[in-house]
Structure 1
Amino acid sequence: MSFKIAIIGAGSVGFTKKLFTDILCVPEFKDVEFALTDLSEHNLGMIKAILDRIVEANGLPTKVTATTDRRKALEGARYVISCVRVGGLEAYADDIRIPLKYGIDQCVGDTICAGGILYGQRNIPVILDFCKDIREVADTNAKFLNYANPMAMNTWAAIEYGKVDTVGLCHGVQHGAEQIAEVLGAKSRHELDYVCSGINHQTWFIDLRLNGRKIGKDELIAAFEAHPVYSQQEKLRIDVLKRFGVYSTESNGHLSEYLPWYRKRPEEITRWIDMSDWIHGETGGYLRYSTETRNWFETEYPQFLEAASKPIDPAKRSNEHASHILEALETNRVYRGHFNVRNDGVITNLPQDAIIESPGFVDRFGINMAAGITLPEACAATCIASINVQRMSVHAAISGDIDLLKLAVLHDPLVGAVSTPEEVWQMVDEMVVAQAAWLPQYAHAVPAAKERLSKSAVKTREWAGAARRNVRSIDELRAEKAALKQTG
């Protein structure tokens, strides 16, 4: 088989390498062309060198090109994969820093909450540019696979306004299932069957079966509380399981910022999180991790390049959906996964226009969702609160309506639990001014926002957050890695 796959944001080096090797684990795909595109020539050069080394080491005819000209990369592409981070770490730092001045403590800030909403405002205009290029120069039936956060908002915009065949992809369901299989003592994750449904990052395991035996709430709670690691790392997640009756896909830190109850006061944050790793609730944890990872990769690049000389091992193919979807569409080998698509009746008690994440099957006929799923009422209520925020956020990003943007932020569950309307109005002004370079749709609103900020009487504070760690240096990372290696 010979077709073209374009990867936008291919400078996300580690993730691009994973997608590339996954796809080449499919024997029929050795003649595929990969077209890499990114704003950074430097990052493109690094990833192309790694992928070229993989192709050479495995004796493959696979073609790899790299260009900063996005339209050239998209010409004739059958599949377009996006893993972009608009504004990079500079804008992301403001997503965390500015809300902290108003008492809003986020762990990740890339889905909803103040940071996730502004992240969506930066992404959506760019997503629509991608869609325009796909419609104009890609293959007539091109499929857009979006990996970029905020997943629901980006996918919503691409489908409703971009008019492109789009599916959103995430790995939260797989990671949650791996945890459940482990605590239940499964020898393999394949022993666990499940139905997981909801919206991205708020998806719920509503039916669990281990070797065909149905797993109930009490058994699952007992298994998590008995686990020596997860009982400490997932305290908030276990508490939600006890109250809602079902387990959430999302990590302790992520889940905490989508709900109004666990991060509203500093003492509550420290009660529910765990500092053993960023993902369990640390203030700005993913920002710190992303900064350290970027620094580490730049310094250790020769080792990454050397590792690319090893043969591809199909047994190590990851559970990221992309390669499996392409394999099913092209070979008709059926794949079952969890996909982000427009609801349209898939989940009975969520809005029809929402982007939901739910089970589906892929074959030559496309992605076919399992329809008629009804969520437990508490899960649906929690999802609907976020969906309403997502809808307003998407419409604000499209229209450039700063008042609608402020209403979206005001209705966010955690923001509403922490901040007053006056604080929200000023915070959004401050974030729009700080990120104006990536928010062209709000250019008309920036002068008035600056004027309001110069006269505002709303007090703020300089606060690092309830549980902040400093970014580690390369030397510190090396020392920690060496220590872990010594201890086994």
Structure 2
Amino acid sequence: MSFKIAIIGAGSVGFTKKLFTDILCVPEFKDIEFALTDISEHNLGMIKAILDRIVEANGLPTKVTATTDRRKALEGARYIISCVRVGGLEAYADDIRIPLKYGIDQCVGDTICAGGILYGQRNIPVILDFCKDIREVAETDAKFLNYANPMAMNTWAAIEYGEVDTVGLCHGVQHGAEQIAEVLGTKSPRELDYVCSGINHQTWFIELRLNGRPIGKDELVAAFEAHPVYSKQEKLRIDVLKRFGVYSTESNGHLSEYLPWYRKRPDEITRWIDMSDWIHGETGGYLRYSTETRNWFETEYPQFLEAASKPIDPAKRSNEHASHILEALETNRVYRGHFNVKNNGVITNLPHDAIIESPGFVDRLGINMAAGITLPEACAATCMSSINVQRMSVHAAIAGDIDLLKLAVLHDPLVGAVSTPEEVWQMVDEMVVAQAAWLPQYADAVPAAKDRLAKSKVKTREWAGAARRNVRSIEELRAEKAALKQAG
């Protein structure tokens, strides 16, 4: 087979390498072309060198090109994969820092909450530019695979306004299934059959069977509470499981910021989170992790390049959906996964226009969703709170409507539990002004926002958050990795 895959944001070096090696685990794909594009020539150069080394080491005819000219990369592409982070770590730091001044403590801030909503405002104009190029220069009926957060908002904009065949992809379901399989005493998630449905980062394991045997709430609660690690790291998720009756796919830290109950007071935050790793609820945890990862990669790049000389091992193909979807579409080998698509009645008790994450099957005819799923009422209610915020956020981003943007932030569950309307209005003004370089649709609103900020009497505070850790130096990271290696 010979076709072209374009990867936008290919400078996300580790993730691009994973997608690349996964796809080349499919024997029929050895003759394809990968076109890498990014705004950073430096990152493009690093990832191209790594992928070239992989191709050479494995004796493959695969073609790899790299360009900062996105339109050139998309020319003739059959599949386009996006893993962009618009605004980079600079804008992301504001997504965490500014809401903290108003008492809003986020662990990740990339899906909803104040940070996730502003992240969507930065992404959506860029997503629409991608879609325009796809319509004009890619293969007819090219498929757009979006990995970038905020998943639901980006996918919503691409489908409704970009008019491109789009699917959103995430790995939260797979990771949740791995946890459940482990606490139930099996190391193989393949022995676990499940139906997981909802919206991205709020997807729910509504049916579980282990080797054909149904697993109920009480058994699952007991299994998690007996686990020596998860009982400490996933306290919030276990509490939600007890109250809702079903387990959430999302990590302890992520889930905590989508709900109005666990992060609204500093003493409650420390009660429900775990500081053993960023993902369990640390203030600004993902920002710290991303910063450390970038610094580590820049410093240790020669090691990453050397590791690229190893043969590709199909047994180590990851459970990221992209390679499996492409294999199913091109070879007709059926793949079952969980995909972010427009609802259109798939989940009976969520709106038709919402972007849902739910089971589907892929073959040469496309992605076919399993329809007629009804969520438990509490799960649907929680999803609805986020869907309403997502819808307003997308519409605000399209129109450049700062008033609608403020209403979207006001209706966010955690923001509403912490902040007053006056605080929300000022916070949004401050975030829009700080991020104006990445928000072209709000250019006309920035002068008035600056004027309101100059006259505002709403008080803020300088606060690092309830559970903040400092970014570790390269030396500290080396020492920690060495200690872990020695202990293992």
Which residue of 1 is the match for residue 102 of structure 2?
A: 102
* More divergent stretch after superposition (417-426 vs 181-190): 181-190
Distance in 1 (alpha carbons) for counterparts of 2:487 and 2:421? 51
Distance in 2 (alpha carbons) for counterparts of 1:447 and 1:141? 41
Distance in 1 (alpha carbons) for counterparts of 2:326 and 2:188? 25
Distance in 1 (alpha carbons) for counterparts of 2:31 and 2:397? 39
Aligned length: 488
Structure 2, unpaired ranges of 5+: none
Which residue of 2 is the match for residue 229 of structure 1?
A: 229
Distance in 1 (alpha carbons) for counterparts of 2:13 and 2:53? 14
SS of residue matched to 2:374: coil
Deviations 1:375-415 (A, max 9, x none): 00000000000000000000000000000000000000000
Which residue of 2 is the match for residue 318 of structure 1?
A: 318
Please state how far the C-alpha of 1:11 moved relative to its aligned partner.
Answer: 0.1
Deviations 1:186-214 (A, max 9, x none): 14111000000000000000000000000
Deviations 1:141-165 (A, max 9, x none): 1000000000000000000000000
Which residue of 1 is the match for residue 184 of structure 2?
A: 184
Please state how far the C-alpha of 1:287 moved relative to its aligned partner.
Answer: 0.1
SS of residue matched to 2:373: coil
SS of residue matched to 1:340: strand
SS of residue matched to 2:145: strand
SS of residue matched to 1:167: strand
Distance in 2 (alpha carbons) for counterparts of 1:328 and 1:458? 55
Distance in 2 (alpha carbons) for counterparts of 1:213 and 1:374? 21
SS of residue matched to 1:464: coil
Distance in 2 (alpha carbons) for counterparts of 1:45 and 1:247? 42
Distance in 1 (alpha carbons) for counterparts of 2:240 and 2:209? 20
Deviations 1:122-172 (A, max 9, x none): 000000000000000000010000000000000000000000000000000
Distance in 2 (alpha carbons) for counterparts of 1:486 and 1:111? 37
Distance in 1 (alpha carbons) for counterparts of 2:305 and 2:455? 53
SS of residue matched to 1:347: coil
Distance in 1 (alpha carbons) for counterparts of 2:487 and 2:359? 40
Q: Which runs of 4+ in 1 moved over 4 A?
A: none
Distance in 1 (alpha carbons) for counterparts of 2:371 and 2:186? 29
SS of residue matched to 2:239: helix
SS of residue matched to 1:35: strand
The structure-2 alpha-carbon separation of the partners of 1:135 and 1:57, relative to structure 1 and needing over 3 Å to count, comes to same
Distance in 2 (alpha carbons) for counterparts of 1:99 and 1:462? 10
SS of residue matched to 2:459: coil
Deviations 1:232-277 (A, max 9, x none): 0000000000000000000000000000000000000000000000
Distance in 1 (alpha carbons) for counterparts of 2:304 and 2:34? 20
SS of residue matched to 2:61: coil
Distance in 1 (alpha carbons) for counterparts of 2:189 and 2:104? 37
Deviations 1:410-434 (A, max 9, x none): 0000000000000000000000000
Please state how far the C-alpha of 1:290 moved relative to its aligned partner.
Answer: 0.1
Please state how far the C-alpha of 1:70 moved relative to its aligned partner.
Answer: 0.2
Please state how far the C-alpha of 1:16 moved relative to its aligned partner.
Answer: 0.1
SS of residue matched to 2:193: strand
Which residue of 1 is the match for residue 85 of structure 2?
A: 85
Which residue of 1 is the match for residue 399 of structure 2?
A: 399
Which residue of 2 is the match for residue 382 of structure 1?
A: 382
Deviations 1:24-82 (A, max 9, x none): 00000000100000000000000000000000000000000000000000000000000
Please state how far the C-alpha of 1:9 moved relative to its aligned partner.
Answer: 0.1
Distance in 2 (alpha carbons) for counterparts of 1:487 and 1:246? 36
Structure 1, unpaired ranges of 5+: none
SS of residue matched to 1:338: strand
Please state how far the C-alpha of 1:88 moved relative to its aligned partner.
Answer: 0.0
Distance in 2 (alpha carbons) for counterparts of 1:215 and 1:186? 13
Please state how far the C-alpha of 1:344 moved relative to its aligned partner.
Answer: 0.1
Distance in 1 (alpha carbons) for counterparts of 2:180 and 2:124? 34
Give the alignment's TM-score, normalised by structure 2.
Answer: 1.00
Distance in 2 (alpha carbons) for counterparts of 1:483 and 1:309? 26
Please state how far the C-alpha of 1:435 moved relative to its aligned partner.
Answer: 0.1
Distance in 1 (alpha carbons) for counterparts of 2:76 and 2:283? 43
SS of residue matched to 1:50: helix
Alpha carbon RMSD of aligned pairs, Å? Answer: 0.3
Distance in 2 (alpha carbons) for counterparts of 1:433 and 1:190? 49
Which residue of 2 is the match for residue 60 of structure 1?
A: 60
Please state how far the C-alpha of 1:373 moved relative to its aligned partner.
Answer: 0.1
Distance in 1 (alpha carbons) for counterparts of 2:11 and 2:468? 28
Distance in 2 (alpha carbons) for counterparts of 1:283 and 1:328? 40
SS of residue matched to 1:132: helix
SS of residue matched to 2:65: strand
Deviations 1:258-311 (A, max 9, x none): 000000000000000000000000000000000000000000000000000000
Distance in 2 (alpha carbons) for counterparts of 1:430 and 1:101? 11
Distance in 2 (alpha carbons) for counterparts of 1:162 and 1:191? 39
Distance in 1 (alpha carbons) for counterparts of 2:478 and 2:173? 31
Please state how far the C-alpha of 1:319 moved relative to its aligned partner.
Answer: 0.1
SS of residue matched to 2:461: coil
Distance in 1 (alpha carbons) for counterparts of 2:385 and 2:482? 45
SS of residue matched to 2:349: coil
SS of residue matched to 2:81: strand
Distance in 2 (alpha carbons) for counterparts of 1:193 and 1:48? 39
Distance in 2 (alpha carbons) for counterparts of 1:322 and 1:140? 20
Which residue of 1 is the match for residue 328 of structure 2?
A: 328
Which residue of 2 is the match for residue 305 of structure 1?
A: 305
Distance in 2 (alpha carbons) for counterparts of 1:430 and 1:188? 48
Distance in 2 (alpha carbons) for counterparts of 1:324 and 1:485? 33
